Chains A and B, each alone.
Chain A
Amino acid sequence: DIQMTQSPSTLSASVGDRVTITCRASQSISSWLAWYQQKPGKAPKLLIYKASSLESGVPSRFSGSGSGTEFTLTISSLQPDDFATYYCQQYNSYSPELTFGGGTKVEIK
């Protein structure tokens, strides 16, 4: 199984900050990575797919980068609506099984 490790697990930041979340895969997954945002009591929402493609309707302050085993999600200027938990998810086509990272909670500083 491919393991996904996110860091940090918790991040404290202020409105307007630039925020970066890292996701590392235990083996190469090319660019088969998605990012989701989840707010308490709600379903996850797709932000990024194929490592760097922005889902329709997602604000441009969100961006993704990376390939192989290391990936990042960046929020260029944190907004009040962005305080949430973020998950990465690998979908390497060599295996039907997919896995999520453990999540990064972005809190108000």
Chain B
Amino acid sequence: EVQLVESGGGLVQPGGSLRLSCAASGFTFSSYDMHWVRQATGKGLEWVSAIGTAGDPYYPGSVKGRFTISRENAKNSLYLQMNSLRAGDTAVYYCARGYGGIPGYFDYWGQGTLVTVSS
């Protein structure tokens, strides 16, 4: 059974940093592109970053230069390093497995981890 379990969310001050993790199981992690998608309370879904099987990262303009996605295949883990956090980054962050190449779509999602940026 495919499982994605996020961790690392919490309360952080504006300008601060946070590192999210996603533990994957039930599939060959190294063979799949992986993504982070976020959702502010009561709002829609926003793609945050992707990483290909070769470790190639992709970002939208809203987080480029502030967020860094990485993966550690030996540990079946995905990470998101978030720096220079702003109030607008407050959201539930989901880890998702990609399918169909980059950009692709998402066939499995984690349960999400809440990031709150506030003083």
Give A contacts to B, CB under 8 Å. Answer: 34, 36, 38, 42-46, 49-50, 55, 87, 89, 91-93, 95-103
Contacts and interface: CB of A to CB of B under 8 A. Distances in A.
Given A43-B94, A87-B44, A103-B44, A96 B50 contact: yes
Contacts of A55: 107
Contacts, number: 59
B32 interface: no
Interface of B: 44-47, 50, 58, 60, 94, 99-107, 109-112
A58 to B, nearest CB: 11
Specify the main secondary structure of chain A where it touches its partner: loop
A93 B103 contact: yes
Contacts of A45: 109
Contacts of A95: 103
A55 B58 CA distance: 26
Contact of A96 (B94, B103, B107, B111): B103
